[in-house]
């Protein structure tokens, strides 16, 4: 069954109320705000080898631990912060993931200096417009695409870590670069009808 309260949804979200709220309110909605983009980039990287439900359950802890995902503040984290975070049971205590979040914040700021905003850099890969897919079933939803390969390669070239193509495609889905709500899902049409961000006109700077 993929129907709850009379509305049909993507079946992956039916495991919990938290999952369902995330699907109904956030997943696939275009994100242009840099702090939110840094949050999703961090959380998708933290998910590697784990379930998204695990990360969602720890999301508020991550916001607290990483200064509400302010990249300027996280970029200033040092060895003492790493030790503090390694003792924090509210997040995934993986040293490589923690250290990569800090180094990613520094690279994130470099990209922002080059493009004006990280959103401008990111959304230029899709010309400022979300890709509207028509997936009929979960088997049609890929784990990666040629475009996620391209973005992953460019992120790695710039120094980002935990940005493999599979992670990048999940990130693209989360921040609305692609609309992968299934055709049977009530959210697909709603997300597709959302207005393009006013910042989209500035995306082709480079």
Length of the chain in residues, anyone?
Answer: 206
Nearest Cα neighbor of 45 from 18, 83, 74 is 74
Going by pLDDT thresholds of 50, 70 and 90, the confidence category of residue 202 is very low
The arithmetic mean of pLDDT across residues 72-80, rounded, is 98
CA atoms within 13 A on the CB side of 69: 17
pLDDT surpassing 60 at residue 200: no
CB 206 within 8 A of CB 118: no
Distance between CA atoms of residues 156 and 162, nearest Å = 9
CB 47 within 8 A of CB 170: yes
Going by pLDDT thresholds of 50, 70 and 90, the confidence category of residue 4 is low
Catalytic residue among 44, 62, 121, 169: 44
Tokens at 60, concatenated: 């508020």
- What mean pLDDT, rounded, does the chain reach? 92
Catalytic residue among 19, 27, 39, 52: 52
Distance between CA atoms of residues 165 and 201, nearest Å = 27
CA dihedral 67, 79, 118, 147 (to 10 degrees): -120
pLDDT tens-digit profile of 111-160?
999 999 999 999 999 999 999 999 999 999 999 999 999 999 999 999 99
Q: What percent of the chain has pLDDT over 70?
A: 93
Q: What percent of the chain has pLDDT over 90?
A: 88
Catalytic residue among 12, 22, 26, 99: 22
Cα three-residue angle 51-98-73, rounded to 5 degrees: 120
Distance between CA atoms of residues 47 and 131, nearest Å = 24
Catalytic residue flag (residue 123): no
Catalytic residue flag (residue 22): yes
Catalytic residue flag (residue 110): no
Query: What letter would DSSP give residue 31?
Result: -
pLDDT confidence of residue 11 = 95
pLDDT surpassing 90 at residue 46: yes
Distance between CA atoms of residues 151 and 157, nearest Å = 10
The arithmetic mean of pLDDT across residues 38-54, rounded, is 94
Going by pLDDT thresholds of 50, 70 and 90, the confidence category of residue 2 is low
């Amino acid at each position: 069954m993929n129907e709850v309260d009379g509305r049909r949804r993507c079946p992956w979200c039916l495991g919990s109320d938290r999952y369902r709220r995330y699907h109904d309110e956030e997943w696939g909605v275009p994100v242009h705000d840099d702090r939110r983009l840094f949050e999703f980039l961090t959380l998708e990287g933290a998910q590697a080898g784990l379930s998204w439900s695990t990360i969602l359950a720890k999301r508020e802890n991550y916001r607290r631990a990483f200064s509400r995902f302010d990249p300027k503040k996280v970029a200033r984290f040092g060895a003492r912060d790493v030790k503090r975070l390694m003792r924090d049971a509210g997040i995934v205590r993986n040293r490589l993931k923690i250290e990569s979040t800090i180094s990613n914040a520094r690279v994130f700021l470099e990209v922002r200096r080059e493009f004006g905003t990280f959103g401008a850099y990111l959304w230029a890969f899709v010309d400022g417009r979300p890709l509207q897919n028509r997936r009929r079933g979960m088997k049609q939803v890929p784990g990666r695409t040629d475009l996620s390969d391209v973005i992953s390669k460019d992120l790695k070239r710039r120094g980002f870590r935990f940005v493999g193509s599979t992670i990048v495609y999940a990130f693209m889905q989360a921040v609305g670069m692609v609309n992968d709500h299934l055709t049977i899902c009530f959210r697909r049409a709603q997300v597709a009808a959302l207005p393009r961000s006013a910042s989209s006109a500035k995306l082709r700077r480079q």
